[in-house]
Structure 1
Amino acid sequence: MNSDTSTSIPSAVTHFELHGGRGPFNAGFFRLMGPYLEASLRKHKRRVFAGLPREVVEIGSGVGANLRYLPAGSTLVAVEPNRYMHARLEAAARRDGVRLDLRERMAEQTGLPDNSVDAVISSLVLCSVQDPAVVLSEIRRILRPGGTFRFVEHVVAESGTPTRAAQRMFRRPWAWTFEGCSCERDLERYVRAAGFGSVIIDHYRVHTPFLPFNTHIAGIARV
């Protein structure tokens, strides 16, 4: 897949800031916690990632947690700005027999051509992008008619619940530790407002010691 000119992004969305402490920490954290997170999210990923085509774009590929859901011999265009993740992602792609097209770019501007891909996936990513609305607009731009955006994300809890109180309490240290991740984003609202032709979303909870992380959605949005 070749790069092409893409729509410009707002000036507020500038660049990914590599941090010499948080970057390596997060790469190690998600490598270490990968099996635990996978056990919590597996059934939802299996459902929304079922039947992926042989070429997929993933925003925020991290250390390669979703490579196992790609068909053998397929290609992953990985949009991952945190270069501290890259070595583990490349090793995982070699292990799983996936051809990796790794792009050190932000999801707000993938550089991919209009109407060029059939599927975009994300998991635990829209919480940390600078502007979810711009990212979703970019996803719609690069998807072909009939293409799908498949996602598994954690979201803001309902007002008045203990989880919502924890999200409010820990929002600043959480965002600092996890490189801008917000545990208070209403990502369902963002996806439904993004202009997709159809959107199917399921709500669920995972039960972890990380209370702000417990409320989730999984779904498929079609152009």
Structure 2
Amino acid sequence: MTETTTRDQTADGFPLHRGRGRFNAAFFRAMGPYLESSLRPHKQRVFAGLPASVVEIGPGVGPNLPYLPPGATLVGIEPNRYMHDRLRAAADRRGVRLDLRERMAEQTGLPDHSADAVISSLVLCSVTDPEAVLAEIRRILRPGGTFRFVENVVAPDGTPTRASQRMFRRPWAWTFEGCSCERDLERAVRGAGFASVEVEHYRLHSPFLPFNTQIAGVARA
């Protein structure tokens, strides 16, 4: 099967691969409970006290819906349409009103200063331009609004994890739709012009070695 028969595009040009798109939707649905068992303490900390309306960059199949308050509205910026059915079903189960937008995170289409909170988890590794996404988040946040994030990041030089990130760079990115575990996302967030940034470093203990160095934090506009 040729690439032209397996690749499609969303309305704003996201290169959607039918096989990998479906695989990732199924993978994160299946692996959700396992990932959440490790990430839950960090998400509980940074997602605590979310407002009734939240913008999420890359909500996927909805692993962060349980952290929203009852009756909340989620504006989901999700270009992978193969995630959409599972996300809608999960939102229905949680009683969350879903405003789903098939757009890339660099251009959400939301008005300036229209969001009290933006969240992301395990997403900034795979966006095309992290700096542009962070600038877009700042643009849509109201003054005093928060960007709350849980992300995987580059490991320190000279460590086995860093070596594995280099070794698996290409197959990892191909499988997980551009995900790079070699991005210094803490530096990107700190350099994005937020009024304040708080970051916690931690390590997951999982067989997915390139993925195990993580940060969680809150940036305030």
Equivalenced residue count is: 210
CA-CA distance at 1:57 after TM superposition = 0.0
Residue 156 of structure 1 aligns to a residue whose secondary structure is coil
Q: Which amino acid aligns with 1:166?
A: S
Number of the residue aligned with 1:8: none
CA-CA distance at 1:20 after TM superposition = 1.2
Number of the residue aligned with 2:109: 111
Number of the residue aligned with 1:129: 127
Residue 44 of structure 2 aligns to a residue whose secondary structure is helix
Number of the residue aligned with 1:88: 86
CA-CA distance at 1:15 after TM superposition = 2.5
Number of the residue aligned with 1:9: none
Number of the residue aligned with 1:36: 34
Q: Which amino acid aligns with 1:36?
A: Y
- Runs of 4+ in structure 1 deviating by more than 2 angstroms, as ranges, are none
Number of the residue aligned with 1:6: none
Q: CA offsets per residue over residues 82-133 of structure 1, 9 Å max, x none?
A: 0000000000000000000000000000000000010000000000000000
Number of the residue aligned with 1:166: 164
Number of the residue aligned with 2:206: 208
Residue 80 of structure 2 is aligned to residue 56 of structure 1 = no
For residues 176 and 205 of structure 1, the distance between their equivalents in structure 2, rounded to whole angstroms, comes to 24
CA-CA distance at 1:16 after TM superposition = 1.1
Number of the residue aligned with 2:174: 176
Q: Which amino acid aligns with 2:19?
A: G
Give aligned-pair identity as a percent.
Answer: 79
Number of the residue aligned with 1:217: 215
For residues 191 and 166 of structure 2, the distance between their equivalents in structure 1, rounded to whole angstroms, comes to 24
Q: Which amino acid aligns with 1:33?
A: M
Residue 168 of structure 2 aligns to a residue whose secondary structure is helix
Matches within 5 A, 1:2-17: 15-17=13-15
Q: Which amino acid aligns with 1:89?
A: L
Residue 197 of structure 2 is aligned to residue 199 of structure 1 = yes
Q: Which amino acid aligns with 2:59?
A: S
Residue 95 of structure 1 aligns to a residue whose secondary structure is helix
Instruction: List gaps (5 residues or longer) in structure 2.
Output: 1-11
Residue 21 of structure 1 aligns to a residue whose secondary structure is helix
For residues 16 and 212 of structure 1, the distance between their equivalents in structure 2, rounded to whole angstroms, comes to 25
Cα RMSD over matched residues? 0.6
For residues 180 and 16 of structure 1, the distance between their equivalents in structure 2, rounded to whole angstroms, comes to 12
CA-CA distance at 1:73 after TM superposition = 0.3
Tell me the TM-score normalized by structure 2: 0.94
For residues 186 and 116 of structure 1, the distance between their equivalents in structure 2, rounded to whole angstroms, comes to 28
For residues 181 and 13 of structure 2, the distance between their equivalents in structure 1, rounded to whole angstroms, comes to 21
